[in-house]
């Protein structure tokens, strides 16, 4: 049976990337060594790291005022590493509370300074994105989560603010064209759109660093990592290599323009199907519906278990909603083929006809 991988992360990877990664586990680039056993300071791996960093900047069309880091810890580590590097204890940072991950980032930031919530959609169960809010002029930065994986919402325009803008792009990075120069810091776990779990990318405008009074442990200091070219300690070598392969695949497939076109096609098909079938409903505001993670429900909750059982029988993997939200969640990352969304929407129609 063909499997359709809708997992929210770790998630589907391009087949060509998996094939190349598998081959590199046996032998990497005719070196006689596995990618798992090459030294991280050898020319073999340093070339991987430099190409990966260069591709990130190329795809984002960023100049040398930015640097790219590949770091341990996943995006969650950045919840505390960002304020540790940018926020003194007597200063304020602005945060948008649009869901689970934004809430966690606020909690961590409050350990280092004041985290001021300038916008929240909690009042309506995180089913929309705030717009038109104001940010205090003395805020050190504004932090947003550009795509909310759990709740199924997404920012389609960057907030227009006069302070440095920071975005957790873990679940929509490299899925669309943006003016990335509007952001002073972007971070993302790799395991959704750009590789395997175990590494996160940080893209930072260097001018925002080095301005706090607090001493920073060396391993948490962005400037130290920049100086070391992301080789301050042993990086997650294999995960960086898979990220490189995925970045190459994105570029070869048509870049961010093609990722965006495909994303619109897949998500439009799914949302149009949800809206056309009375058995299903999406509570997210139409203008804020995520192209990456569609979160929706059966109007008759007693039908949810039978529907999920049918999905399992038909090879639809990873469609059960997040544990605190419930319902159905269909993740449509870059590597997911249109045919998988077609198969899922056909299944929805079949189920609706029977019920």
Find out whether 256 and 174 touch, Cβ atoms under 8 Å: yes
Q: Annotated catalytic, 168? A: yes
Number of H helices, E strands in the chain: 9, 14
Q: What are phi and psi of 155, to 5 degrees?
A: -80, 125
Catalytically annotated residue among 97, 98, 168, 221: 168
List, in sequence order, every residue forming a beta bridge with 331; answer none if it has no partner: 293
Q: Which of 101, 172, 249, 288 is catalytic?
A: 101
Distance in angstroms (rounded) separating the CA atoms of residues 182 and 71: 23
Tokens representing residue 109 in the block: 């930031």
Burial class, 90, CB count within 10 angstroms (exposed 0-12 / middle 13-18 / buried 19+) = exposed
Instruction: Choose the catalytic residue: 192, 205, 249, 288.
Output: 192
Helix (H) or strand (E) holding 294: strand 293-298
Residue 101 designated active-site: yes
Interacting residues of 168 by C-beta distance below 8 A, sequence separation 6+? 75, 78, 101, 102, 105, 143, 144, 145, 146, 187, 188
Report how far Cα 57 is from the mean position of its chain's Cα atoms: 17
181-207 burial by CB neighbour count: b if 16+ within 10 A, else e?
A: eebbbbbbbbbbbbbbbbbbbbbbbee
User: Are the C-beta atoms of 118 and 161 separated by less than 8 Å?
Assistant: no
Active site residue 172: no
Start-end of H helices in the chain: 15-26, 43-60, 74-86, 100-109, 222-227, 237-252, 255-276, 304-313, 338-354
Active site residues: 101, 168, 192
């Amino acid at each position: 049976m063909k499997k359709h991988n809708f997992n929210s992360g770790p998630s589907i990877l391009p087949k060509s990337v998996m094939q190349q990664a598998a081959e590199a586990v046996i032998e990497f680039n005719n070196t006689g060594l596995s990618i798992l056993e090459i030294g991280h300071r050898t020319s073999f791996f340093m070339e991987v790291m430099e190409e990966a960093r260069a591709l990130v900047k190329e795809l984002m069309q960023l100049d040398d005022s930015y640097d790219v880091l590949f770091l341990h810890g996943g995006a969650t580590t950045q919840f505390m590493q960002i304020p540790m590097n940018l926020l003194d204890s007597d200063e304020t940072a602005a945060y948008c509370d649009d869901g689970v991950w934004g809430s966690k980032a606020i909690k961590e930031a409050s350990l280092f300074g004041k985290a001021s919530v300038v916008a929240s959609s909690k009042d309506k169960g995180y089913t929309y994105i705030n717009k038109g809010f104001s940010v205090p002029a003395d805020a050190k930065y504004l932090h947003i989560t550009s795509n909310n994986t759990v709740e199924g919402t997404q920012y389609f325009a960057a907030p227009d603010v006069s302070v440095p803008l920071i975005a957790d792009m873990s679940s929509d990075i490299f899925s669309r064209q943006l003016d990335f120069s509007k952001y002073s810091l972007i971070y993302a776990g790799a395991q959704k759109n750009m590789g395997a779990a175990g590494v996160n990318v940080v893209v930072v405008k260097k001018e925002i660093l080095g301005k706090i009074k607090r001493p920073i442990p060396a391993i948490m200091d962005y400037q130290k990592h920049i100086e070391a070219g992301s080789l301050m300690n042993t990086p997650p070598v294999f995960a960086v290599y898979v990220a490189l392969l995925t970045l190459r695949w994105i570029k070869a497939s048509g870049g961010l323009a093609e990722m965006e076109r495909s994303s619109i096609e897949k998500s439009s098909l799914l949302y149009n199907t949800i809206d056309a079938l009375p058995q299903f409903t999406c509570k997210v505001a139409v203008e804020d519906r995520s192209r990456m993670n569609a979160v929706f429900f059966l109007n008759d909750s007693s039908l949810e278990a039978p529907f999920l059982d049918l999905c399992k029988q038909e090879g639809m993997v990873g469609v059960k909603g997040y544990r605190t939200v419930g319902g159905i969640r269909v993740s449509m990352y870059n590597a997911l083929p249109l045919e998988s969304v077609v198969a899922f929407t056909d299944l929805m129609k079949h189920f609706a006809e029977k019920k």
